Chains A and B, each alone.
Chain A
Amino acid sequence: MNSAKSTWTRFIDSKYSTPAILITILIVLDSFVWWLNIPFIEDICTVATITLIMVLGFQLFMGNSGILNWSYAGYIGIGAFASAIFSMTPEFKAKQIPVMYEFLVNLHLPFPLALIAGALFAALVAAVIAWPLMRLTDSVGAITQFALLIVINTMLNQWQEVTNGPRTFTVSMGRITDIWLALFVAVLVILAVFWFKESSVGLKLRASRDDRYAARSSGINIIAVRYYGYVTSAFIGGLAGGLFAHYIVSITAMAFYMGEVFVLLTMTIIGGSMSVSGAFFGTLLITVSQQLLRQLESIVTRSGFEASGTTDIVLGLLMIGFLALLPNGVTRGKELSLSAIKRFLRIGNNRQKQSKGLDQKPSN
């Protein structure tokens, strides 16, 4: 009994309780929504779970490296189109996009493989172009990523032989992604993102964010750790894009542009860009407030006032407010762990015991 108790105590005090808590919340939430069986809510919840994957991948690079990663929306788009092209049957593709290249038409993989292939393709694109870009930080880095987003978007939006150009790209006749698949991938991604943050590369990346020069003089190859982070982030983005494409079913390149970056940024910043828990609760909070605001919007619009677009205005104001007053978001840059909860509730009988979790990390 004694040893079991100590294992439990060690678990409570360890940082590994964070993914456990997040995954538990997510599974309970999604199962509850599935049990409710209201299509409208299930729809919101599935999209939210997919969005969570996007935000986690976004946070993985932006949170750990401190570089504002505009191009991320582009990788979501690449993953969406690539996985769709892999999963569609040749006959369906030929009918939908008559101008498509012959070799693309003949590509075909079963759905789960197509999803992974799409994500791998997004990561491949990132791996090919990212190395020289990883030298740049601050304003120059942000403009570079911004320019890259425009390049990717122009390609997706104009390359008729691949993406059907600016027209809608129909992936299939019915939804392929369901809430369980989204949940399954989200659980894996939470584990992966958390593992990345705690891994040697993640630690080095965070060091390079906090003090570039100290990190370099400690022998960290900043470009290399940024590169690994960026490519991993692109992979997760591509995965989320694939899930999204197979859920929404008809996609256009413009869905993966500035608007998408704006939403992801709001979620990451309001949750707290420095922690995985921040990405998680940011997604949750913003999804709920978005839905409430949209309901309000449509009520107001029905009563005669044009109100569409108010949601984004409120989110933008929220984001500025948070940046000014709570720059590390609702989580204050910390991870939610059992020991943090315990300390918060003041029920622990060993309060003098130092936690080794990340919650000790000072926020800047």
Chain B
Amino acid sequence: MSLGIFIEFSINVLSMGSLYALIALGLVFVFGICQMVNFAYGEFLTVSAYALYALGTFTNLPWLMVFLLGILAGVSVAFFCELIAFRPFRGRSLEALLVTSFAVSVILQRSFQLGISPRSRAVPIPDFFNQTILVFGVSTPIRNLVIIASSIILLIAFVLLMKKTTLGIAMRGAAENFTTARLMGVPANLVILAAFVISGFLAGVVAIFWSAKTGSVEPMVGSGPLLIGFIAVVIGGMQSLPGSVVGGFVYAIVANVLSLTLPTTLLSFRDAIMFIIVIAFLVLRPGGLLKGNYQEERVG
């Protein structure tokens, strides 16, 4: 394997991995605290992507504003979903929460189809995102480097948030043991709402890079990232924030290696292979690679 190919592979894995890590992080923030598998997560991302499309197409705002407002759209949809759809189910069975989030996801998808268009819309992206530059003699689009840089910044910011601030400590406590955290005076509503807001924020950030990569948005665009998030979360560890980051990178490596090595006839089965890995993890090592405080009850 020549050096060039190796560098290209590394840049791909790093940029995809950072993106997938952010996706998985958004899922784990909610799962860690509410134990809720949020099927509507993909739609938070879709809302952000549509906001980018609308602001970029119909206004002349500077790019930074467009991005910030796009992220804000993701945050607000997560905020309102928590408040309207998920809060009434607090303390109910996990199945009820899960089915609700699935219903919210379907409702939002159909609303986009109805309100905007079932067909895809082009999302305008700043030109410099797609310009290529040479890195160690390999040309790569700038957006790959932007993804890597912004996820490093975000990860550092989240580490500081979780370690240093009261909110972060409260959230970690709630993820560890929700009941005890409440007894210690942690306000449940605030912590859960914060988890959703962070989840929506991450969905917004991911939406920018996802639309930059695909260049368009359609009502079902969220399902791809959602599935990636599931895989990464399960591989990395359903309870652990660092685990989800690791899971994102592992997924990027495995997916890239499969794309390079699988014969073309089997390439269309890549999803099946990825999800068989997921099932194997759930059965054999349900805590994921980094266990966190995994405490699933299982029988047998």
Contact = CB atoms under 8 A, between A and B. Distances in A.
Contacts of A34: none
A144 B278 CA distance: 8
Given A147-B230, A320-B85, A323-B96, A212 B102 contact: no
13 contacts: A68-B98, A139-B37, A143-B282, A144-B278, A148-B275, A148-B279, A150-B227, A151-B279, A154-B271, A158-B272, A313-B110, A319-B99, A323-B96
B164 interface: no
Contact of A262 (B37, B102, B238): B102
Nearest to B86: A320
Nearest to A324: B88
Contact of B114 (A132, A307, A327): A307
A312 B282 contact: no
Given A143-B278, A222-B299, 16 more contacts: A66-B93, A132-B283, A139-B36, A140-B238, A151-B272, A154-B268, A155-B269, A158-B272, A208-B299, A216-B299, A265-B102, A307-B114, A308-B113, A317-B103, A323-B89, A323-B100
Chain B CB count within 10 A is highest, among A143, A150, A319, for A143
Contacts of B279: 133, 144, 147-148, 151
Given A154-B272, A306-B114, A320-B85, A140 B296 contact: yes
Interface in A141-162: 142-144, 146-148, 150-151, 154-155, 158
Contact of A136 (B88, B110, B227, B298): B298
Contacts of A66: 93, 95
Interface residues of A, number: 44
A166 B272 CA distance: 15
A333 to B, nearest CB: 13
B113 A212 contact: no
Contacts of A146: 230
B104 A316 contact: yes
A135 interface: yes
Given A132-B283, A313-B107, A320 B100 contact: yes
A143 B102 CA distance: 12
A313 B98 contact: no
Given A140-B286, A143-B230, A147-B278, A313 B100 contact: no
A291 interface: no
Contact of A320 (B93, B104, B269, B300): B104
Contact of A144 (B106, B107, B272, B283): B283
Contact of B98 (A132, A139, A307, A320): A139
Interface string B202-223: 0000000000000000000000
A110 interface: no
A138 B94 contact: yes
B120 interface: no
Nearest to B272: A154
B286 A136 contact: yes
A297 B85 CA distance: 25
B111 A147 contact: no
Nearest to B85: A320
A139 B107 CA distance: 22
Given A262-B106, A313-B110, A316-B107, A142 B299 contact: no
Interface of B: 31, 35-37, 85, 88-89, 92-96, 98-100, 102-104, 106-107, 110-111, 113-114, 118, 227, 230, 234, 238, 268-269, 271-272, 275-276, 278-279, 282-283, 286, 296-300
A310 interface: yes
A362 interface: no
B283 A135 contact: yes
Contacts of B297: 137-138, 212
Interface string A90-128: 000000000000000000000000000000000000000
Contacts of A222: 299-300
A139 B110 contact: no
A68 B230 contact: no
Contacts of A85: none
Contacts of A142: 37, 94-95, 98
Contacts of A320: 85, 100, 103-104
Contacts of B94: 138-139, 142
Nearest to A132: B283
B99 A68 contact: yes
A226 B298 CA distance: 13
A309 interface: yes
Contacts of B102: 262, 265
B114 A308 contact: yes
Nearest to A317: B107
